[in-house]
Amino acid sequence: MTRMLANRYEVGDLIGAGGMADVFQGRDTRLSRPVAIKILRSDLARDPAFLARFRREAQAAAGLNHPAIVSVYDTGEEGTDQGVLPYIVMEQVNGKTIREVIRSGERLPITRAISVVRGILEALEYSHRNGIVHRDIKPANVMITNGGDVKVMDFGIARALDDASATVTHAWTVVGTANYLSPEQARGEAADSRSDIYSVGCLLYELITGRPPFLGDTPVAIAYQHVSAEFIPVSQLNPDLPNGIDNIISGALSKDPLARYQNAREMLDDINRLDRGEEVQKKIKNPKRRNFVIAGVVAAIVMLASSGYLISRIPTPVSLITLSDVSGLTESQAKAELTGFTIVVERAPDPRVPIDRVASQTPTAGTKVEPGSQVQIILSDGPGKTSIPTTLIGTTIDQAKIILDGSGLVLAKTNPVESSEAPGTIVGVIPEPGSTVAAGSGVVLNIASGKVFVPDVIGASKIQATTILIQAGFIPNVIETQDADQPSGVVLAQAPASEESAKIGSSVTITVNTYKAEPGVTPTPNPSAS
């Protein structure tokens, strides 16, 4: 039986899962159109503060109507045994997220990167004008459709997570996107529209260089750099970039919100000027200018006092190195290839890469970096092995996902099947429970749809047939007939037929032969029966 929300939205296959919610394919039966349905995790839904903010912000986001924003069609709540689960019905978008593009190793041409950022800024200009701050702009929240259009996702939800009363889980979700956090967000201060501008600057930086502006071993280390460190100008990492791009990124990534682009339109205007080959308006501001002035005054006093000359030593520009590609190499080979760099080695399962070989590196190959800088390499543990849990049968879909996640497996598909179990109950697992599979494998779950097989009662007596049907959950509907050629007192026909499925509580019609031969009279055979 198909799962329905609000008696309107059919919930289909799971197409995505994240830290906050699961996303399902869906269909709006009233308007006959495909939709995407995001259902919030039950642990978040149990937080009253989050629920209140989510309802308010989701409704506000539903009022946004812009071609560069994924449309929110409807919001609601579903009552379950675990409590109320809020959901959002959204426009279904076919394409790739920027995160998927970056992880594939694809480097967008500068003109395309500028076009993508233009789409994001147009969406933000509209949302800011309507009082909605995104607060979680990152590659995973921006899609490029199959037609090449830009779509920004998750308005409202990100803001709900910024509630001051957020729990540790919520705070972890925010820290999890540390590569794109503004300095004020990293300090735990209030975020406004200029925080979105900073995040767009981080995303543009990564699109054109292949790496975020700041790298670190932990989210906290990255957040600290957002507050205090200076980023490497993109022109040093990629000298072929057009003039003015450093100014634009500097204007977006200023530590001081007052020195940043003050709104999306300002940055958008400079993006358009750059695209036309015109001079951008934003100028690079040196945050250490005041210190330089003081140092100059002190130097002048020293010169006058000593009647000598002060020769300033200008730092020699750092010569950047193009990072080698070490994917597929062993750890020792990779370290030899990256001599002079600080190597951080991590391990992770990867079914695509042989065990003990480099699966990925950060920054990516071809990036220009400073000598001695940090390079992270991920060594493959191979797919690894795990067992299909034996406790899945009889659980709900939410419980099953938790069990699968704990076993290093993913839910690949759900199949509604006919069963006598309660609707929504897991009644079958593929592969077989207890079997050994590669970690990360997909598991197919068969879920009771709410229908059951009708038992076969043909040939049974009336009493036997009605008893069997009632025990199976059906309501017997008895029709009597007289047929001298068939045994008396037994069921001759039934509808639905045996092995067909019917909803529990529905009626099953049985035809019972009530013919009784008169004493001493032998029934005459029916010629047509021979």
Bridge partners of 508, per DSSP, are 476
pLDDT at 186: 82
pLDDT at 434: 86
- pTM above 0.75? no
CATH topology of domain 383-448: Trypsin Inhibitor V; Chain A (3.30.10)
- Closest to 506 measured CA to CA, from 463, 472, 479: 472
* Size of the chain, expressed as the number of residues it contains: 530
pLDDT at 458: 94
Q: What is the mean pLDDT of residues 31-40?
A: 88
519 vs 487, higher pLDDT = 487
pLDDT of 516 > 60? The answer is yes
pLDDT at 164: 37
pLDDT of 95-141, one tens digit each?
999 988 888 777 788 999 999 999 999 999 999 888 888 888 999 89
pLDDT at 519: 62
pLDDT at 224: 80
pLDDT at 188: 75
Max intra-chain CA distance, the chain: 148
The CATH number corresponding to 1-91 among 1.10.10.10, 3.40.50.300, 3.30.200.20, 3.30.70.1150 equals 3.30.200.20
**Amino acid letter, residue 422:** A
- Closest to 503 measured CA to CA, from 449, 463, 460: 449
Residue 350 designated active-site: no
Confidence of residue 289 (pLDDT cuts 50, 70, 90): very low
Write down the architecture of domain 450-511 according to CATH.
Answer: 2-Layer Sandwich (3.30)
* Cis before 363? omega within 30: yes
pLDDT of 365 > 70? The answer is yes
pLDDT of 250 > 70? The answer is yes
Contact indicator for 464, 455 with CB cutoff of 8 Å: no
Contact indicator for 31, 8 with CB cutoff of 8 Å: no
pLDDT of 392-409, one tens digit each?
998 887 788 778 866 767
pLDDT at 316: 46
The CATH number corresponding to 95-160+172-284 among 1.10.510.10, 2.30.40.10, 3.40.1440.10, 3.40.50.920 equals 1.10.510.10
Confidence of residue 20 (pLDDT cuts 50, 70, 90): low
pLDDT of 342 > 60? The answer is yes
Residue intervals in the chain for CATH 3.30.10.20: 319-381, 383-448, 450-511
Q: What is the mean pLDDT of residues 483-491?
A: 89
Torsion angle of alpha carbons 158, 164, 165, 171, nearest 10°?
50
- Rounded to whole angstroms, the Cα distance separating 45 from 48 reads 7
State the CATH class of domain 319-381: alpha beta
pLDDT at 159: 53
pLDDT of 418-461, one tens digit each?
887 887 788 999 999 888 887 777 888 888 877 777 889 999 99
End-to-end C-alpha distance for the chain, whole angstroms = 44
Catalytic residue among 136, 154, 162, 350: 136
Residue intervals in the chain for CATH 1.10.510.10: 95-160+172-284
Report the mean per-residue pLDDT for the chain. Answer: 79
Q: Which residue has the tokens 């109320």?
A: 84
Contact indicator for 320, 236 with CB cutoff of 8 Å: yes
Residue intervals in the chain for CATH 3.30.200.20: 1-91
Residues 6+ apart with CB under 8 A from 67: 149
357 vs 160, higher pLDDT = 357
- Closest to 340 measured CA to CA, from 323, 328, 326, 356: 323
